Structure 1
Amino acid sequence: MERNLTLVALFAALIAALALIPQFTLAFGVPITAQSLGVMLCGTVLGSKRGALAVLLFMLLVAIGLPLLAGGRGGLGSFMLPSSGFLIGFPFAAFVTGLIVEKWQGPSLAIVGGVASVIGGIIVLYAFGIAGLAIALDKTLLESAALVTVFIPGDIIKAVLAGLITAALYKARPASVLSRA
């Protein structure tokens, strides 16, 4: 139990640390950051439940005002921005990513982790992000979907990295990848 709490807190801190990588905010108000890589890793390494808990802890810390989002943002106002759909989708993305890694005992953990990251960390996350953009910007879902296409190449790279990092961690310390425990 203590180990699980420690890992949940550690991965919440990882998501926060990935905000320190310089961001680039697009014209429609959504920044390109490395934090979605942290969300993917929460799922691939910790599994569905622990991964979602790590993201929820991160979101709680943001909600109480800690400046943990890219650009030093934090507080309840962060949940009212054009990017709020992505933020709200973080725990769902981590959960789905982790669930796929837990259930699919596929050919290689790098492939399973990468595919799970694409499904959970891109497709699921984009569903929330597109809905949030449509509401915040008063656009149709199709118009909002067109806006997020700029994120696809970078997010594919993050998904590949998540798979490779998870596989390397599993090779070095199998017991540390809880999604496979």
Structure 2
Amino acid sequence: MERNLTLITVFAALIVVLGLVPAIPLGFGVPITLQSLGVMLAGAVLGSWRGALAVLLVQGLVALGLPVLAGGRGGLGIFVGPTAGFLIGWLPAAFVTGFIVERIRALPVAVAAGIGSVLGGIGVLYALGIVGFWLFKNAGMGPEDTPMSLWTATLIMAPFIPGDLVKAVLAGMIARTIARYRPSALIARA
């Protein structure tokens, strides 16, 4: 139990530390950050439940107002802003990533972590992030405003996917390195 709590806390700290790497701000409110790499790694290394709990810990810190997100952001307002879908999506993204790594044991850990990161850390995350962005952009619109289509929101987010694919590959490589040099730390495969 104590080891689980320690690892959950360590991966929550990793997600926070990756947020210290300067974000690349874009004009429509969604910055490119490395924190999603931390989410992928939490699932790939800790597995579904522990990875999700690491993310939940970070989300709790955000809700308390601590500036733990990229750019020193925090507070409840983040949960209703343009990036809310992505922040909320971190939890199921880590869970799905970990679930896939736990289940695909026939493949090498790097491949399983890469697949899990693509499906969970990109697929699940973008599904929720795009819907959240779309809802935010269409909330409170007056009769003279033109609503944004879900397709437009998807097209706006599409340029982020190549960078996240690189993060998925990195997550696979890091998981493989952990499996090679510290196999007991790769709980998703324990």
Fold shared by both chains (TM-score > 0.5):
yes
1:16-95 residue pairs with structure 2 within 5 A?
Answer: 16-95=16-95
Deviation digits for residues 35-90 of structure 1 (CA, Å, limit 9, x no counterpart): 00000000000000000000000000010011000110001011111011000000
Deviates more, 1:143-152 or 1:43-52: 143-152
> Which residue, 154, 162, 172 being the options, matches 2:163?
154
Structure 1 equivalent of residue 182 of structure 2? 173
Partner AA of 2:175 in structure 1: T
Give the counterpart letter for 1:179 in structure 2. Answer: A
> Once structures 1 and 2 are overlaid, which stretch shifts more, 80-89 or 105-114?
105-114
Query: Partners of 1:92 and 1:180 in 2: how far apart?
Result: 19
Task: Answer yes or no: is 1:99 the counterpart of 2:99.
Answer: yes
Q: Take 2:167 and 2:69, find their aligned partners in 1: how far apart are those partners? A: 18
Partners of 1:85 and 1:91 in 2: how far apart?
A: 11
Segments of 5+ residues of structure 1 without an aligned counterpart are: none
| Superposed displacement of residue 25, structure 1 | 1.5
CA–CA separation in structure 2 for the residues paired with 1:107 and 1:49: 21
Q: Separation in 2 of the partners of 1:148 and 1:129?
A: 9
Which deviates further from its counterpart, 34-43 or 103-112? Answer: 103-112
CA distance in 1, matches of 2:160, 2:126: 9
Which sections of structure 2, spanning at least 5 residues, go unmatched? 139-147
Give how far 1:107 is off: 2.5
* One-letter amino acid matched to 2:54: A
Query: What SS does the aligned partner of 1:31 have?
Result: coil
User: 1:141 matched to which residue of 2?
Assistant: 150
Identity %: 57
TM-score for the superposition, normalised by structure 1: 0.98
How many residues end up aligned between the 2 structures? Answer: 181
* SS of residue paired to 2:175: helix
State how far apart, in whole Å, the 2-side matches of 1:134 and 1:94 are: 22
In structure 2, the residue matched to 1:108 is 108
Which amino acid is 2:189 matched to?
R
Q: Secondary structure at the match of 1:30?
A: coil
CA RMSD of aligned residues (A): 0.7
Matching residue's letter, 1:16: V
1:3 is matched with 3
CA-to-partner distance for each residue in 1:17-36, whole Å, 9 max, x for gaps? 00111101211100100000
Q: Deviations over 1:134-172 (max 9, x none)?
A: 101122211111011110111000000000000100100
**TM-score, normalising length: structure 2:** 0.94
**Larger of the two Rg values belongs to structure:** 2
Moved over 4 A (4+): none
Q: Separation in 2 of the partners of 1:163 and 1:176?
A: 15
